Amino acid sequence: MTQDRVTKFENEARSLLAAGFTTKSGQSAAKHAASSAYLGARKLVQDVFLELPRETRTAAQEAIYFDLPDTPHNWRPKHAAAIREHLPAAAEHIPTIERLVALYQEIKAAPVVLAERNADGTKVRVPHRSEAFNPELRDQFMAQAPALAASYERNVRAVFADYLDRFGADGVIPAELYPNEARLTRAQLGQQRIVNNLIARHATPVNKRTGYVLDEARLAELAKRYGDEVAMQWFYKTNRKLGVLTNPRLVRDDGANVEVTGTKAGHAIRMAQQVVQKWAPVSREVFHQFPALIYVDGKFTPEADYAKQFDVEADQDEAASGDQPTAAAPALTLETATQEQQSVMLYLESQAVDSGGAVESARLSGHELTSVIPSLIDAGLVESFSRVPSSVLGAFRRSITHTADLTEAGWAFAHAARRARAARLKFAAPRSTIEAARLRY
């Protein structure tokens, strides 16, 4: 990637930031542009290393090539210091990288202000429908964040202790668990991935990338971030389940149980939840689930029956619109959709046709799972995207993890995207080669 393309992506990100964000997908587009600019600047640094004769390359220079972060939020001052010391010819690119890192952080911190335009041209704030009601519960849920963060921290410490006991020496976990093995078994590959991901993310590398030690500051930062994000998501999910309550209150007992109480249309509402901590068997990552039972006037009521009885969806629409009618969200078209959105829609459509909507998350990037798919749901193209029950994980020949359903608008979008792709491929190999051969005869 040339410097011109880095500048192009940077300008695109700054333009989007200056315009402000009224949707999460808009913010994601700006973050994607800033990340693309960062990756281009990183490649310029790596190109300096590749231009060096092989016989003159040092281990420190190789470490720079392989250790430069893939994402701007993982850039640290130590990376700049290493470039200046061991690869000074690439030091001219450091100001560009640091500028892009700051830009990415600014985009990430920018608020998403959902807005509608009034007749007089002004814009009014329209809260997301999951945050617009039961504001009394927000602080009560956020008070659970430290406990969630503590669970995250305990899990990471347990993994570090386990790997130190099995593979470590002098408090250091080796970066390569099996350096002398020509071919690793499946179990060995899984253990190495845990070192490369979970352990490396919470550690400080030592001895020129030969091992890792636990980074207390980094662990505390990531644990707090996890606790805050999960607590806020928990609050939003509770609102989506219960709708608007009068005098809502959260009560937590001494165990792993939570109750949300309140009244609705004259009925006493109680939702009993368990705080369940689980671990992904392969990655050893911790995550939380909150299975819930809803009671109306002391009688258990299934969630679907509750939503129909109290019209929870109408609560959400009313809270989102406030006193004024909400302008319809602009339809996502092939012209306005990003390449990632089109690609994900084509994948979901193919899975819907081939396997009834069974999806393998391994075929989607983290950005696509956390940003692109939610943007497609917000745009009304994807009706649902849900995890499969843990009881059937691994029960199929394929690694099915989710199910997806498209709306009618989603089917129409995917069909249009597929036709557009077919039209483009008519002018690419092998079809273009075939047509050229026909013209010769």
Residue 252, domain member (yes or no)? yes
The 10s digit of each residue's pLDDT in 26-42 is 788 888 889 989 999 99
Q: 9 with 99, same domain?
A: yes
Residue 155 shares a structural domain with residue 198: yes
Judge residue 272's burial from the number of C-beta atoms within 10 Å of its C-beta, 0-12 exposed, 13-18 middle, 19 or more buried. Answer: middle
327: pLDDT strictly greater than 70: no
Do 116 and 25 share a domain, yes or no? yes
Whole-number pLDDT of residue 84: 92
- Lowest-confidence segment of 166-180, 341-355, 403-417 by average pLDDT: 166-180
Task: Choose one of 161, 189, 218: the last residue of a domain.
Answer: 218
Asked if residue 208 and residue 258 are part of one domain, the reply reads no
The tokens for 236 are 């939003």
User: What per-residue confidence (pLDDT) applies to 385?
Assistant: 86
Mean pLDDT, to the nearest integer, of 135-158?
A: 90
Same domain assignment for residues 121 and 207? no
In a domain, 266, yes or no: yes
Residue 135 — very low, low, confident or very high, per pLDDT cuts 50/70/90? confident
For residue 205, tell me if it sits in a domain: yes
pLDDT, one tens digit per residue, over 266-322 is 899 999 988 888 877 777 888 888 888 999 999 999 988 888 888 766 665 555 444
Q: What pLDDT shows up at residue 314?
A: 60
Using 50, 70 and 90 to split pLDDT, how confident is the model at 440?
A: low
Residue 1 has pLDDT above 70, yes or no: no
Last residue of a domain, one of 218, 250, 273: 218
Least confident window among 91-105, 168-182, 328-342, 370-384: 328-342
- Mean pLDDT to the nearest integer, 412-426: 85
* 118 and 19 inside one domain: yes
Q: What local confidence, expressed as pLDDT, does residue 330 receive?
A: 43
Q: Domain boundary residue among 321, 347, 382?
A: 321
> At 362, which CATH number?
1.10.10
Q: Between the ranges 140-154, 225-239, 355-369, where is the mean pLDDT highest? A: 140-154
283: domain range? Answer: 233-321
Same domain, 257 and 309: yes
pTM of the model: 0.48
**What's the average model confidence in pLDDT over 164-179?**
86
What pLDDT does residue 94 have?
A: 92
Asked whether residue 8 falls in the same domain as residue 74, the answer is yes
- Specify the pLDDT at position 120: 59
Average pLDDT over residues 211-234: 88
Instruction: Supply φ then ψ for residue 112, to 5 degrees.
Output: -100, 105
As for how many domains the chain has, the answer is 4
Establish if 64 belongs to a structural domain: yes
Residue 384 falls inside a structural domain: yes
The pLDDT confidence band at residue 54, using thresholds 50, 70 and 90, is: confident
Q: What is the 3-state secondary structure (H, E, C) of the chain?
A: CCHHHHHHHHHHHHHHHHHCECCHHHHHHHHHHHHHHHHHHHHHHHHHHHCCCHHHCCHHHHHHHHHCCCCHHHCCHHHHHHHHHHCHHHHHHHHHHHHHHHHHHHHHHCCECCEEECCCCCEEECCCCCCCCCHHHHHHHHCCHHHHHHHHHHHHHHHHHHHHHHHCECCEEECCCCCCCCCCCHHHHHHHHHHHHHHHHCEEEECCCCEEEECHHHHHHHHHHHHHHHHHHHHHHHHHHHCCCEEEEEEECCCCEEEEEEEECCEEEEEEEECEEEECCCCCCEEEECCEEEEECCEECCHHHHHHHHCHHHHHHHHHHCCCCCCCCCCCCCCCCCHHHHHHHHHHHHHHHHHCCEECHHHCCHHHHHHHHHHHHHCCCEEEEEECCHHHCCCCCCCCCEEEEECHHHHHHHHHHHHHHHHHHCCCCCHHHHHHHHHCC
Residues 158, 152: Cα–Cα separation, whole Å: 10
Q: Is the pLDDT of residue 130 over 70?
A: no
Identify the top-confidence range among 73-87, 173-187, 376-390.
73-87
Q: Which amino acid is at 219?
A: L
Q: Is residue 130 a part of any domain in this protein?
A: no
Do both 246 and 271 map to the same domain?
yes
- Same domain membership, residue 202 and residue 237: no
Pair (13, 118) in one structural domain: yes
Lowest mean pLDDT among 155-164, 192-201, 293-302: 192-201
Note whether residue 434 is domain-resident.
no
345 inside domain: yes
Report the mean per-residue pLDDT for the chain.
82
| Residue range 332-387, pLDDT digits in tens | 777 778 888 889 999 999 999 998 899 988 888 877 887 788 888 878 888 888 88
Q: Which residue has the higher pLDDT, 251 or 371?
A: 251
45/189: higher pLDDT: 45
Is there a single domain that holds both residue 30 and residue 105?
yes
